[in-house]
Structure 1
Amino acid sequence: MLAIPYHRDRRVSVSGESMQPHLTGVQKIVIPKSDEQRARIRTATNGHFLFKHLNEDQYRDVVNAMAEKKVSAGTHVIDQGDEGDYFYAVESGCFDCYVNDELVTEYDNKGSFGELALMYNAPRAATIVAKTDGVLWALDRHTFRTILMNDTARKRHMYDEFLKEVPILKSLREEERHKIADSLETVSFKDQQVVVHQNEVGENFYLIVDGEALVYKSSDDGSPPRKVNRLGKSDYFGELALLNDKPRAATIVAQKHLKCATLDKNAFTRLLGPVVDILRRNSVNYQHILNLAAEEK
C-alpha cells in the first residue's frame, strides 16, 4: 500500500502554458553550491539523455539552478495526476514508481524522473515514493524548459520519421511517438564491437543513426557464425526486446564507427505503459508482431 501522499510547494495549474520552451525573459536561478555539491550533481546526472548534448555553459546553468532535497522513507516525491513542478535526479536512496497503484519500476541510488510533465505540460504520469531516506537534485520547471527543451525538439525532428517505420511502434499515436523520440539515448560503438550477443536476454531497442552493422547467426551444430545481413542508417534491431524477454536471435557487430539511438523496455513502460497494450490497438499489426516474435529463433 502507498504511503500518505506528500504535497509541498505543488504547482496549481499550467494548463495555459505553451508547449514551446521559454527562450527569453527568464532570469537565471543560481543556488550557491560547494565544489563537492557540484561534483555530486555531475555524478547524479551523468549519462542522462537530457544532459548529454548540453554545452558547458548550458550545463553550468542547470547545475546552478538545481536544489538539493533530502527526503525521508515513505515520502511521496510526486503524485500521479499532479501538475509538474520539478525534474529530479537521484543521488542516493531507493524510490518506487507506481502507475495506477501498480509498481512499474524502481530507482536504486541512480536514475531520474519527473521530466514528462515538464516536457509535455501534462499531469504527472506516475507516483514516486521514497522507499528509503535519500537525496535528490531538483531542477525547476522554467530552467528545465528554457535549457533542455531546445535540444529535445531537435532530437524529435531527427528521430520521428525513423520511428514511423518500426513495425512494433506503428500503433503509437503521434504524441506517444514524440515521447519515444525525445527519450532516445545516443550510444556509439567502435569497429568490431559487439552491440548485442545472440542468446543473451536484452532489454534495448536500437535505431542506427550513422554507420553500419553486420548481423551474425550461430547454429546449434557448433559451426562458426554466419553473416546473414548488413544494417545501415535508419535500420533498427532489438525491437522485440520491448515486447518480451526472449534471448536475442542474432549477434550484431559494429562496422567501423556505429552510432545508434536506443531505448530500453523499462523506459518505454514508464513512458507509455506495456508495449503489448499499445500493439492491441491495431489487431492486424498486433498479429504480425506476434508472428515475428514466434518465428525469431
Structure 2
Amino acid sequence: MATLSELKADARKALLARDHEGALQLFREIHEQAPDDMRAWCKMAELMEKCGDVDGAVREYNAIAGRYANEGFVVQAIAISKIVLRLDPENRRASERLRELSRERGEEWSGDTDARRATVAFKETPLISGLSGEELQAFIGYLHPRMADDGEAIVRAGEAGDFLFLIGSGSVRLETVDAAGARKVVRRLEAGDFFGEHAFMARTAYQDDAIAEGHTVVLEIDRATFDQWCERHPSIQETVERFYRQRVLERVLATSDLFRGIPAEACTALTEHFRRRTFHDGACVVRQGEKGDSCFLIRSGVVSVTTEDFRRPGRVIDLGELREGAFFGEVALLNDKPRTATVTARGEVELMELTREDFRAIIDRFPQVLQTVEAYQRERVRSTIRKVTAS
C-alpha cells in the first residue's frame, strides 16, 4: 500500500500530465487515508466535476461545506457552498446553509465551541464583519467562486484591477519585483483575508502576482457590484480603504532600497507610524535650508530634487527624480540639520510621512533600522557630492 506522501507525489504528477481520471483515483485514496485533509478533499470534488460526475462533486462539496460550518470555519463554508450553487443553482442544502450562516452570524450555533469559533471567524474577516445577517446574505449572493491549484496565478501584475478577492479556503502569496530586480514575497494571506484592493480602489492594474499556495478557493466581486454596495454600506468601503493604505505602505517598504534587509516585523511596526500626505503638481514638499523633523516615503507619483551649488550661490543643480518606493528627508531623522535639498511634486503625489519622534520609538525596538538609515544617508551624501562636482 502506497504511503500518503507517495500518493500525493503521484497525484501531483497526474495533475501536471492533465490526467484527471488518474488524479481523481489518487485523491480518493488520499481522502481515505487522510479524511481531515480538507484541501485534498476539495481537490477530489473538483476532479469529480472535471471527470463529468457533477452529482458526485455536489455531494462531496456539500459534505465539505457542512464540515467547515460545523467546525466554525465560516468563510470556508461560504466559499464551498457557492461552488455547490454554481454546479446546482437549486441545491437546497447549500442555499439553506448560506441563509443559516448569514442569519446566525456565529452567535447561535449548536454547541458553545462552534459558536465561539464562528464568532471569531466573522470578526477575523474584516470585509464582512460589519454586515448584519440580511446584508451578509445579500452580499454573499454577489460573490463568485474561483479555484486555483498550487502555484497557479490568480492574477498577474499588469492585469486590469477589476476584481476584489476574498480567500475562501487555502492561502495566497503576493509577489513583486524589488528595486534590484529580484522577486520578493510581499505578504502571505489566509482564508478570510482579501487582496487586490490597491488596483481595485485606485482603478489601476494589479501591481503584484497573486499565487495560490496549495488548492485554493477565492471569492471575487466586480467593481460595479462593489460600488453599488458601498453606496448602501459605506463601512465596506472604509474597511477596504483602511487595508489599502496599510498594505500599499507595506509593499512600498518591501521594495524600497532603504528598507531592503530590515526585518519584516520592523517594517510592520513602521507602517503604524507613517501618515498620509498629498501634494499637487508644483507644490514644494521640503525646501533647502529649512528645519525639518520628518522624512517621506513616496507611495505614488514623482518628485524632483534640486540643490543650490555651494560653490556658485544662486545656481541650482538638478539631482534627478524620485518615484514610488523612494525615500527622502532622512537627514531630519538623524539630526537637527537644515534640509539639504528642495523636493517638488511633479504631478499628483502621495507621500507617507514619518516624524523624528516616531522614528526614535521604532529604533528603540529595532536598532538595526538606525544603522540602515545612517548607511543610506551616507551613500546619498556621496552621490550628491558626485553630482555637484560633476556639474
Larger relative contact order (C-alpha < 8 A, sep ≥ 6)?
1
Higher helix proportion? 2
Q: TM-score, normalised by structure 1?
A: 0.44
Structure with larger Rg: 2
Q: TM-score, normalised by structure 2?
A: 0.34
